[in-house]
Amino acid sequence: MTIPGSLIQRLAAAQRVTVLTGSGVSAESGVPTFRDAQTGLWAKYKPEELATPTAFRRNPRLVWEWYAWRRKIVAEAKPNPAHFALVELARIAPKFHLITQNVDGLHQRAGSEKVIELHGNITRTKCFDEDTIISKWSDTGDVLPKCPHCGGLLRPDVVWFEEPLPESEISLAQQASGSCDVFLSIGTSTVVYPAAALPFLALKSGAIVVEINPQPTPLTEKAQFVLSGAAGAVLPELLASLESSISSRK
């Protein structure tokens, strides 16, 4: 894919770059996206029916096993060229913010720092009742581990539907989206709020918005640049064009 020269110019001149990623950025690492047909055992459930406190109260074992299955996939996954390209972009942009909806921690494993995790992280576990992070618990062999402090059930440290996002993360994300020169929305279906509002906030505040996604989304017709392709292919190409444009100016 050829990256438009006008986009490279905008990026090279940008002082503040903000990126929002969704599960599409981890697709090439082998982590299923959120709304792809759930493979295997989970084909018959909709993620929205598993990723809620109601689902957990109703059937904690099912929800816990769904997350154990996803945690195993994430543990075996490796960051892909899309993740590494964003580490590179952070080195180039004078001011850079990386906001992710993903819970897989692959940005951090690729070397990204100060990642704004809007929806938590599947590798962390917390007590359902006390909301405190629990790093170790006695393995009684029971599928459902218990909190060592209060005996309550443990759950993944992720934000479920109907749960509020962490205040500090969402306000930092809104601030970074409302005050950037270029906003890149990568690998997200742009349907889950309040994260999905961020690209539109960037648009409203005058940023140039770039969408990278093989499929159209509610953002596509409003973005100034739409790169319809896989993040693992498009982002390295974008960075290569950006770096050659910057070095040709030196």
Residue 102 to residues 22, 95, 116, 195, 207: CA-CA distances in angstroms?
6, 22, 10, 11, 23
Of 226, 216, 234, which Cα lies nearest the Cα of 1? 234
Please pick, among 83, 97, 107, 119, the residue that the annotation labels catalytic.
Answer: 119
Query: Does 78 sit near ligand BV8 (CB under 6 A)?
Result: no
CB nearer to ligand BV8: give 103 or 242: 103
Closest approach, Cβ 164 to ligand BV8, in A, equals 4
Query: Does 230 sit near ligand BV8 (CB under 6 A)?
Result: yes
Closest approach, Cβ 5 to ligand BV8, in A, equals 22
Crossing angle for the helix pair 231-249 and 81-92, to the nearest 10 degrees = 30
Binding flags for ligand BV8, 48-67, as an x/- string (CB under 6 A): x--x----------------
Tokens (6 digits) for 191: 């349907």
119 in active site: yes
**Which residue is at the shortest CB distance from ligand BV8?**
24
Query: Does 115 sit near ligand BV8 (CB under 6 A)?
Result: no
Q: Give buried/exposed letters for 205-242 (b at 16+ CB in 10 A, else e).
A: eebbbbbbbeeebebeeebbbbbeebbbbbbbbbbebb
Binding flags for ligand BV8, 168-207, as an x/- string (CB under 6 A): -------------------xxx-xxxx-------------
Residue 197 to residues 10, 27, 29, 181: CA-CA distances in angstroms?
23, 22, 26, 17
Phi (first) and psi of residue 231, to 5 degrees: -60, -35
For 121, the enclosing helix (H) or strand (E) is strand 120-127
Among 135, 141, 164, 249, interactor with ligand BV8 by CB under 6 A? 164
Among 3, 103, 134, 180, interactor with ligand BV8 by CB under 6 A? 103
Query: Does 130 sit near ligand BV8 (CB under 6 A)?
Result: no
Closest approach, Cβ 221 to ligand BV8, in A, equals 15
Of 240, 199, 239, 235, which Cα lies nearest the Cα of 217? 199
CB nearer to ligand BV8: give 22 or 79: 22
How far apart CA 203 and CA 15 sit, in angstroms, is 16
CB nearer to ligand BV8: give 158 or 207: 158
Among 213, 219, 238, 242, interactor with ligand BV8 by CB under 6 A? 213
Q: Tell me, by CB under 6 A, how many residues bind ligand BV8.
A: 36
Give the residue numbers marked as catalytic. 119
